[in-house]
Structure 1
Amino acid sequence: MPISFDTTGFHRLDQNTWQHPSGDQAELTYYGLVPDLPAGLDDLPKLRHDLALVHGESGCLVEAHVVQLDGVPALLRIVKVPLPNQPNGQAFICSFTVPKANCSAVLQLGALERGMTGAREAVLAAEIGFGNWVRPHPYAPELEGRLPFHAGDDPRYDARFPDHPLSRVRAWAHHVVRTARLDPQFAALPPFQVQAPPPVAPGQTLVTALPSLPVKDFVGLQIGEETTYWRMTDPKLGEMLGRGLMGRSPLTDTRFRDMLLIDVATGEAMIPDRFTTDGNMTAHGTHLVQVSLSQADAELSDDDVVDAFKWAGRMCGEAAGRGEHLSLEPIQHQGEQADPHVLLAVRPHEGQRVVIAQFSPPPAGGPFAGSPSRSAPATAESVEGIGVIAGMAANEWRSHPLRLAITYRRSTG
């Protein structure tokens, strides 16, 4: 793996996961994609601002810094999120991202509040005063996130509360900075750089399009009431779909889909970034070639379709990190949730993370006949597998995978 770190005191669960007796869990992940950072490491103010907006949707960015990991620049961030399906408590996640031009490596530690929660906050709020407790976010003062930025998360208080999960992930971060090592070949790769958005060509007419599940090099686009089909000529759209990076179109107050802007006549498209900085939209250019459904279908194998549903499962796993779950449904669904659909989510259950597929209506035939749901402990394999299970259930709908879409919904609890 690209990063090696001191695992003293940790028990190895699998090739990329380690657990500490405290329950804290370390994970090491390699992504063979262009990093999804909103700015380069050389533009820390914009990077911090946009990351604060991103993490504000599911929790709060506590801090972000550019550090040297074995002599290579890396992004260190600490995020707090509510414990899902629990009335109180928070999880703190410390991560190191080493971005390269076409890939990245991420090392992270997650620590959960257990037992009586909120003790650190209660003690410090009484000392500091409730009037001075909640503060504007230092990276994005205009932000009103899901969790507040408050005085109690300041590192000066860690020594008084060494067993608090925030104190633990900070102490681990300091140790990693001192001791981690990078694979020399990975360290020597070209650095990550943000590409400037392309200008809109004169005379271009752009309309909003909502994409389907991508299958191999093809994607369906819902434009108004019509579903059209397109071949992707470069990897950009595939790299951004499903990851919470693209601009979104609301179906209702709580349901959203990825969206792009396309000139149907030329196939020139712009993929807007989800968040803006100082009111300025940034976007990425791509080119699509329109095809018929039969032309696309002729080039797709059964393995291509299975890979598409595995991708949907992985996107379910990524959505959980944003405090969201997914609905796999016909692309024509444009309003409130309706049948048929499959909900995909990763959630905590009895002390472990599980991946869940909920079918509505339950399948009438096949291996899941009459079953309202399927679940399994969340691993890389089961997260992919739950997408395949969703595809098997969706097979009853007699809808081509290019006519299926992913819709985001924020998890509750």
Structure 2
Amino acid sequence: MPISFDTTGFRQLDQNTWQHPSGDQAELAYYGLVPDLPAGLDDLPRLRHDLALIHGETGCLIEAHVVQLGGAPALLRIIKLPLPNQPNGQVFVGSFTIPKENCSAVLQLGAVERGMTGVREAILADELGFQNWVKPHPYAPELEGVLPFHAGDDPRHDARFPDHPLTRVRAWAHHVVRTARVDPGFASLPPFRVQAPPPPVTPGQSLITALPSLPVKDFIGLQIGEQTTYWRTADPKLREMLGRGLMGRSPLAETRFRDMLLIDIETGEAMIPDRFTTNGQMTAHGTRLQQVTLPEADAALSDDDVMDAYKWAGRMAGAAAERGEFLSLEPIENQGEQVDPHILLAVQPHEGQPMVIAQFSPPPTEGPLAGSPSRSAPATPESVEGIGVIAGLAVNEWRSHPLRMAITYRRPAG
């Protein structure tokens, strides 16, 4: 792993996971993908603004800073999330991300509220006054997120509540900044940069909405109305943005969404809209696609290409979990409310440990998964990819080509 840190007091659970006696859990991860940050580290105001919007969908971004980690520029962010499936309580996560041109390394600590929750907030709200409690988010004043930005999370109060999980996360982050080391070879890789927005659409160009399939090698299916068409991608930009919560979204139902792009089917010119605006302005990225037939695409694909596509779906389920979402893998023509067949892919905590889960509906009747409604395993980079491959085994029973499959983002109801 590119990052090494002081594990004193932690018990190692596996190659990349450590647990503290308090229950706090540290994890190291390496991603061989273009980072999914909405802006570069050299544009901190935009990075903070867009991250506040992203994390506001599932919780709240408390703070974000660019720091030096072992001599390498890194993004430090601290967020809070509601405890899943619990009426009260929160989990606080502090993470360091070192983004590079085509990969990133992440070190994070998660700390869960245990026992009686909300004590810090109750005491401080009474002292500070409820009229002074909730504040506009300093990075995005227009934001109304799932959890409020409030005065109780200010670091000035940490000393009074040394056992609070937010205090523990901040103390750990400060220690990591002082003591962590970064592999020199990784630190010297080209830095992450956000591609500049494309020029405006050419007058007379006719763009229509299209919903993409799984990307398989250099090919992708696009659902345009009730028709599925097939395309060869000319550059990696679409593949870099798909599945990571960065693209504009098309709602299928109240809690179901798909990535979307705009395409001129006559020329193959396409625009990939960013999901979030910057200073109220929508930006997009230009690309060009070449239309092909399904037999033409299929002839260019190997079994390894198909397996890589399902591994990608598994990794995207892991990325969705960081946003508080999960995925449904389903035929691209399935729109509106959820219907069968489909496979839910998620990474969820279970007894303090993240688990990767695939739920089949209906359960497979053939092959190694016959009769099984679900499969699960402790979440590791290998098992997150592997659960996508398992989902692909179930898809085989549907006799559906992977270019006719799509991922749909799912948010828990409420």
**Common fold: TM-score over 0.5:** yes
Amino-acid identity (%)? 83
Aligned to 1:300: 301
Q: Counterpart of 1:34 in 2: which secondary structure?
A: coil
Aligned to 1:404: 405
Query: 1:408 & 1:103 partners in 2: Cα distance?
Result: 23
Aligned to 1:222: 223
Against the structure 1 CA distance between its residues 102 and 380, is the aligned structure 2 distance closer, same or farther, given a 3 Å change threshold?
closer
| CA offsets 1:100-122 (integer angstroms, 9 cap, x no match) | 22322221111111222111112
Q: 8 Å contact 2:324–2:411 — kept in the other structure? A: yes
Q: List runs of 5+ in structure 1 lacking aligned partners.
A: none
Q: 8 Å contact 1:85–1:412 — kept in the other structure? A: no
Aligned to 1:381: 382
**1:274 aligned to 2:262?**
no
Greater shift in the superposed pair: 268-277 or 359-368: 359-368
Aligned to 2:286: 285
Deviation at 1:170, TM superposition (A): 0.3
Aligned to 1:134: 134
Q: Counterpart of 2:152 in 1: which secondary structure?
A: helix
Query: 1:385 & 1:33 partners in 2: Cα distance?
Result: 17
Greater shift in the superposed pair: 383-392 or 220-229: 383-392
Q: Which letter maps to 2:125? A: A
Report how many aligned residue pairs link the two structures.
413
Aligned to 1:106: 106
Q: Which letter maps to 2:310? A: F
Query: 1:20 & 1:212 partners in 2: Cα distance?
Result: 41
Q: Counterpart of 2:369 in 1: which secondary structure?
A: coil
Query: 2:238 & 2:31 partners in 1: Cα distance?
Result: 16
Provide TM-score, normalisation by structure 1.
0.96
Matches within 5 A, 1:102-181: 102-181=102-181
Q: Which letter maps to 2:17? A: T
Query: 1:187 & 1:257 partners in 2: Cα distance?
Result: 35
Q: Which letter maps to 1:325? A: F
Aligned to 1:72: 72
Q: 8 Å contact 2:255–2:412 — kept in the other structure? A: no
Deviation at 1:412, TM superposition (A): 4.5
Q: 8 Å contact 1:65–1:76 — kept in the other structure? A: yes
Q: Which letter maps to 2:69? A: L
Query: 2:87 & 2:186 partners in 1: Cα distance?
Result: 42
Query: 2:71 & 2:390 partners in 1: Cα distance?
Result: 44
Aligned to 2:196: 196
Deviation at 1:159, TM superposition (A): 0.8
Deviation at 1:254, TM superposition (A): 1.4
Query: 2:76 & 2:92 partners in 1: Cα distance?
Result: 13
Query: 1:30 & 1:378 partners in 2: Cα distance?
Result: 14
Q: List runs of 5+ in structure 2 lacking aligned partners.
A: none
Q: Which letter maps to 1:34? A: V
Q: Which letter maps to 2:50? A: D
Aligned to 1:252: 253
Query: 1:143 & 1:242 partners in 2: Cα distance?
Result: 24
Deviation at 1:42, TM superposition (A): 2.1
Provide TM-score, normalisation by structure 2.
0.96
Deviation at 1:63, TM superposition (A): 0.4
Q: 8 Å contact 1:125–1:133 — kept in the other structure? A: yes
Superposition RMSD on alpha carbons, in Å?
1.5
Q: Which letter maps to 2:59? A: G
Q: 8 Å contact 2:216–2:306 — kept in the other structure? A: yes
Query: 1:215 & 1:230 partners in 2: Cα distance?
Result: 11
Matches within 5 A, 1:316-355: 316-355=317-356
Q: 8 Å contact 1:84–1:412 — kept in the other structure? A: no
Query: 2:32 & 2:106 partners in 1: Cα distance?
Result: 11
Aligned to 2:82: 82
Q: Counterpart of 1:251 in 2: which secondary structure?
A: strand
Deviation at 1:128, TM superposition (A): 1.4
After TM superposition, the runs of 4+ consecutive aligned structure 1 residues lying more than 6 A away are none
Q: Counterpart of 2:167 in 1: which secondary structure?
A: helix
